[in-house]
Structure 1
Amino acid sequence: MKQFLSALMVMTFFISCSSDSGLQKPDTTDYTEKNDKEIQDYLTKNNLTATKTSTGLCYIVKEQGTGESPTSASTVTVVYKGTLTNGTVFDQSTTGITYPLNRFILGWQEGLTKFKEGGSGILLIPSRLGYGNTPVQNIPSGSVLIFEIKLTKVAN
């Protein structure tokens, strides 16, 4: 009986260590070029002109706003709709969400500073400033995120 239990433990150990066929390997793809092309194609298709930052974020100011601009230490309230470049809506808030700016994805942290309280526009966020190579709910890894935003409140 003792030999049987020992053999069972050894087999369990080898089975658990020997194969990673059930594990998914992390996505290490560099989506930079693909995202840049996808953003440019989206802008062309929709006849939009955007400003591109050094990080690859593209933004369009529809209304600048008249209040304060947020800083990284600000708490902001934002009404938004998030879509993929194919038009699929993955998230939205019509009543607004309020969080410290530094708790949002990098694309929002950078992009929202381009507006003042009361401003609105579009953020086109490459995956490296969004969720990167990690799929999140119904957002595939490496996705460009497009947000129509209205910055309704800034608390510094």
Structure 2
Amino acid sequence: MKSYFPLLLILLFISCNNEDSTNKIQTEEDIIQYIEDHNLVAKKSNSGLYYVIETQGEGAKPNSNSNVTVNYKGYFLNGTVFDQSNSAGISFNLQQVIAGWTEGITYFNEGGEGILLIPSQLGYGSKNYNGIPGGSVLVFEIKLLKVN
């Protein structure tokens, strides 16, 4: 009698490894198209982060180790919202968030508002994370309420 166990293991391995293969990896071209479609004036950092400063703000400027309070709305390039804070915002240390936030928030002063367009390598990478498909560009409308 033949054993199908090795075949079953191979199929299981392939199906697990293909979990992320259905995700479309979004590219810099997708970000540029979004910027053009929404008539944004964005700057690009050396890391590949795009950011739009709508209001610079007048208060303190955070560094990558600062504790901050931020009001935000996060969505995909197609406009689907995946997360947002209440009007009071959330407080955290910039070392406890995705790299796109650690870098991007530092471009604003307290009271500043704008948009961060975060490529997947500065977000959650190629793996699915809490309902965010791997390879996704993340768009955040942010307001830096306070540098603590």
* TM-score normalised over the length of structure 2: 0.86
SS in structure 1 of the partner of residue 69 of structure 2: strand
Given candidates 9, 12, 16, the residue that maps to 1:19 is 9
State the shift of 1:138 in Å: 2.3
Q: In structure 2, what is the equivalent of residue 7 of structure 1?
A: none
The reply to whether residue 70 of structure 1 matches residue 62 of structure 2 is yes
Q: Secondary structure at the match of 2:140?
A: strand
> After the TM superposition, which residues 31-70 of structure 1 pair with which residues of structure 2 at under 5 Å, given as runs?
31=25, 34-70=26-62
Give the equivalent residue in structure 1 for 2:102.
Answer: 109
3-state SS of paired residue (1:102): helix
Structure 1 91/16 Cα, relative in aligned 2: closer, same or farther at 3 Å? farther
Find 1:152's aligned residue among 126, 145, 148: 145
Shift of 1:18: 6.5
Structure 2 alignment gaps of length 5 or more? none
Q: Aligned pair in 2 of structure 1 residues 20, 52: CA closer, same or farther (>3 Å)?
A: same
Aligned residues: 141
Q: What letter corresponds to residue 57 of structure 2 in structure 1?
A: G
Deviation at 1:140, TM superposition (A): 1.0
Deviation at 1:111, TM superposition (A): 0.3
Bigger radius of gyration, 1 or 2?
1
Query: Of 117, 124, 130, which residue of structure 1 is paired with 2:117?
Result: 124
* TM-score, normalised with respect to structure 1: 0.82
Q: Which amino acid aligns with 1:134?
A: K
CA distance in 2, matches of 1:102, 1:126: 18
Q: Secondary structure at the match of 1:21?
A: helix
How far apart in 2 are the matches of 1:16 and 1:81?
A: 47
Does 71-80 or 82-91 show the bigger shift? 71-80
Amino acid at match of 1:81: K
Q: Distance in 1 between matches of 2:55 and 2:120?
A: 25
- Does residue 85 of structure 1 match 2:77? yes
Greater mean deviation of Cα atoms: 46-55 or 133-142: 133-142
